[in-house]
Chain A
Amino acid sequence: MTPFRTAALAAMALGAASLAKADEITVGMITTLSGGGAGLGVDARDGFQLALDTAGEHNIRLVVEDDAQRPELAVQIAERMIQSERADILTGIIWSNLAMAVVPSTVAQDIFYLSLNAGPSALAGANCHPNYFNVAWQNDMLHEGAGAYANELGYENTFIMAPNYPAGTDALAGFKRYFEGELAGELFTQVGQTDYAAEIAEIRASGADSIFIFLPGGMGISFMRQYEQSGLDLPIVSAAFTFSQDILPAVGAAALGVFNASQWSPDLDNAANQEFVAAFREAFGRTPSLYASQGFDTAKLILSAAAKADVSDRDAFREALRAADFTSVRGDFAWAPNQHPIQRVYIREVVEVDGEFTNRIVGTAFDEHRDVHGENCPM
């Protein structure tokens, strides 16, 4: 190395140190704010922001950017957040394929990644990482709940369908892990697909007695609206994503009576949750979705760790995150060794309350559920 380069690198290090305030934590949020997946990102961001706004004094600087649900864009934004904003923590990614593109290189650069939504199986098992925390769930979890509940409902010949991306394959794998009946058919659709005429024809011809779908965001809205027009009337079982609060207003009555598995529900009866739902309604004029609850919890976790440790001391901050010293709106919260949650999975039903379509808890699928992939995690 030439003396000049050494000097330049030294200048670089000095510049980095002098730019950031000593105790400020920069959180870079990469999330989907435009296109068919915008509803999810907007809710996650608003939930996160609400937690900061109601926290009183804190030292967190939040930078938000729209990934438009495009992996290559998310990679570029992550690079800018790390190099230019000097983020200490990244969060916000909704989609598992974007998470797979961003998370491995982020955590390898000694930056924390706290997932508030995506939980691809690849990051829960052999590729788990001390800097990667998933505050929401591992992808399979809620679908496993749907599979278990499909048995209770007596479904024997189910048609299953999901988009062709990591969370889609995880969803079908999770459902099949617990479902004991036959499969009438299994289909992968394109991510972001808007026309489901061909799939509906396949379902009609399959002779299924029920349907399991995982179609988050705009995909779920398009499918349900076309399903309603198709004359097919098979019962649907699903995970929370396809019937969450961001989708229900656009789908309307077609979703009534659908059972879906979730770790959270707006009617969940604990003080932290009732306070959160009321504050969210007050601030944004709508009922929060599970994405909002996950954003809220993620911010709460960061705030709890920030109160205990300085983020520049990565090891201390990691320990503070591992302590999970915050009150989750979903109730009890604990980490499995792979830093994914151990939690209760509820069954919800879509109902109409005072003219609003929403979810209500009707049962429990698992009490203390943890993901199967953690076994392969060396941590």
Chain B
Amino acid sequence: MTLALVLEQVLNGLQFGLMLFLMSAGLTLVFGVMGLINLAHGSLYMIGAFCCAAIAGVTGNFWLGLMAGIAAAAAAGALIEVLVIRRLYARDHLDQVLATFALILILSEGVRMIFGPRPLYLNVPDMLRGTVNLGIVDYSLYRLALIGFGLAVALGLWALITRTRLGIQIRAGESDREMIAALGVNIRWLYTVVFALGAALAGLAGALVGAIQSVQVGMGEPVLILAFVVIVIGGIGSIKGAMVGALLVGVIDTMGRFLLPRFFATFLDTSQAMGVGAALASMLIYLLMALVLIFRPKGLFPAHG
């Protein structure tokens, strides 16, 4: 095990974590402001990836595709909010879980009807092809760019929330829903905007990840489950918590898969060690989540004090 390998795996973990952050940020915002649990967030990730792949395929330009992916996810988010989600704010969590579970079925099959059952493939843009030398290791330029993208969006989101009028309204909404209505803020409009913003972030993540993986129906659900783990660890409703949780989950998951089999190999035979190591590595983040919930039931950074 060399330093170069460890560095490469840490970078892989960071890249994974930051893409998880893009997913989790929208999820946690929607819960923080509207008190809504949205299982269909993974479908918005999928919509972003599909629209990006379709437009990039037609125009041959990845960046146009990316814009289209973000726009499509935001538009789908706004539409869903107006048609369905709006009716769920006053309902209990059971109804929210079910209605958004129904949305997953509808959106997944809808995308399958439009794009067909076979995966689409999206090419990495030419300017981000190849590798970059980081001293001891050559690392994929595109994956490095994903890390940059993730950090930039996190910074932008932080600026949006702390520096803009919309941000003030969002924070007010998180702490006291009645108050912002009294302040003359159009709540319906605010809710639609927040939901669309979260959807756009999910769409962005889907499009970015789609370029190195495959774009297929069902791609959003595994990421969705991980995003839930992230926001529960971080504290539901907290953007800072989502960032910390995402990086924790990304790095722990990657390093667990990398290190645990090696650890078990010191006292078990190789194939057994691979099996046990892989089993434990997949459970690691859920174990972390359970521990956090047992010792800090509201997560690491509780949103409401």
**A/B contact in complex, CB under 8 angstroms:** yes
A379 to B270, CA, bound (A): 36
- Which residues of A from 135 to 186 have beta carbons under 8 Å from B? 164, 186
Q: Are B15 and A225 in contact (CB under 8 A)?
A: no
- Which residues of B from 223 to 278 have beta carbons under 8 Å from A? 254, 257-258, 270, 274, 278
Q: Are A231 and B5 in contact (CB under 8 A)?
A: no
A197 lies within 8 A of chain B by Cβ: yes
- Which residues of A from 7 to 46 have beta carbons under 8 Å from B? 33-36, 38-39, 42
- Give the number of residue pairs across the A-B interface with Cβ within 8 Å: 87
CB neighbours (8 Å) of B257 from chain A are 198
**Residue from B4, B121, B130, B138 within 8 A of A221 (CB atoms):** B121
**Residue from A218, A225, A226, A231 within 8 A of B130 (CB atoms):** A231
**Residue from B9, B112, B131, B258 within 8 A of A230 (CB atoms):** B131
Of chain B, the residue at the smallest CB distance from A189 is: B278
- Can you list 6 A-B pairs, Cβ within 8 angstroms, ordered by A? A35-B119, A36-B119, A38-B119, A186-B270, A201-B5, A205-B4
A201 to B10, CA, bound (A): 11
Interface string of B272-291 (1 = CB under 8 A from A): 00100010000000000000
A225 to B143, CA, bound (A): 13
Q: Are A222 and B214 in contact (CB under 8 A)?
A: yes
CB neighbours (8 Å) of A221 from chain B are 119, 121, 214
- Which residues of B from 126 to 175 have beta carbons under 8 Å from A? 129-131, 137-143
Known: A35-B119, A194-B213. 20 other contacts (CB 8 A): A34-B118, A34-B217, A35-B218, A38-B117, A42-B118, A194-B214, A195-B16, A197-B15, A197-B16, A198-B9, A201-B5, A201-B258, A202-B5, A204-B8, A204-B137, A221-B121, A225-B212, A229-B212, A230-B138, A231-B138
**Residue from B118, B119, B129, B217 within 8 A of A229 (CB atoms):** B129
A201 to B112, CA, bound (A): 34
Q: Are A38 and B121 in contact (CB under 8 A)?
A: no
CB neighbours (8 Å) of B130 from chain A are 229, 231
B179 to chain A, nearest CB (A): 44
A197-B15, A198-B257, A201-B5 are known contacts. Are A229 and B131 too (CB-CB below 8 A)?
yes
**Residue from B4, B214, B274 within 8 A of A188 (CB atoms):** B274
CB neighbours (8 Å) of B2 from chain A are 205
Number of residues of chain B lying within 8 A (CB) of chain A: 38
Interface string of B109-130 (1 = CB under 8 A from A): 0001000011101001000011
A256 lies within 8 A of chain B by Cβ: no
A258 lies within 8 A of chain B by Cβ: no
B216 lies within 8 A of chain A by Cβ: yes
Question: Which secondary structure dominates where chain A touches chain B?
Answer: helix
A234 to chain B, nearest CB (A): 13
A186 to B141, CA, bound (A): 27
A377 lies within 8 A of chain B by Cβ: no
Q: Are B143 and A197 in contact (CB under 8 A)?
A: yes
Q: Are A229 and B216 in contact (CB under 8 A)?
A: no
A68 to chain B, nearest CB (A): 9
Q: Are B214 and A198 in contact (CB under 8 A)?
A: no
Name the residue in A33, A202, A229 with the highest tally of chain B Cβ atoms < 10 Å from its Cβ: A229
A250 lies within 8 A of chain B by Cβ: yes
A250 to B219, CA, bound (A): 18
A231 to B273, CA, bound (A): 30
B136 to chain A, nearest CB (A): 11
A38 to B121, CA, bound (A): 14
9 A-B pairs closest in CB distance: A231-B131, A34-B117, A205-B5, A194-B213, A201-B8, A197-B12, A231-B138, A250-B121, A38-B118
CB neighbours (8 Å) of B58 from chain A are none
A195 to B219, CA, bound (A): 12
A34-B112, A34-B117, A198-B9 are known contacts. Are A218 and B216 too (CB-CB below 8 A)?
yes
Of chain B, the residue at the smallest CB distance from A188 is: B274
**Residue from B118, B121, B137, B258 within 8 A of A225 (CB atoms):** B121
CB neighbours (8 Å) of B9 from chain A are 198, 201
CB neighbours (8 Å) of A204 from chain B are 4-5, 8, 137-138
Q: Are B118 and A195 in contact (CB under 8 A)?
A: no
A229 to B144, CA, bound (A): 11
B294 lies within 8 A of chain A by Cβ: no
A296 to B117, CA, bound (A): 22
Q: Are B1 and A229 in contact (CB under 8 A)?
A: no
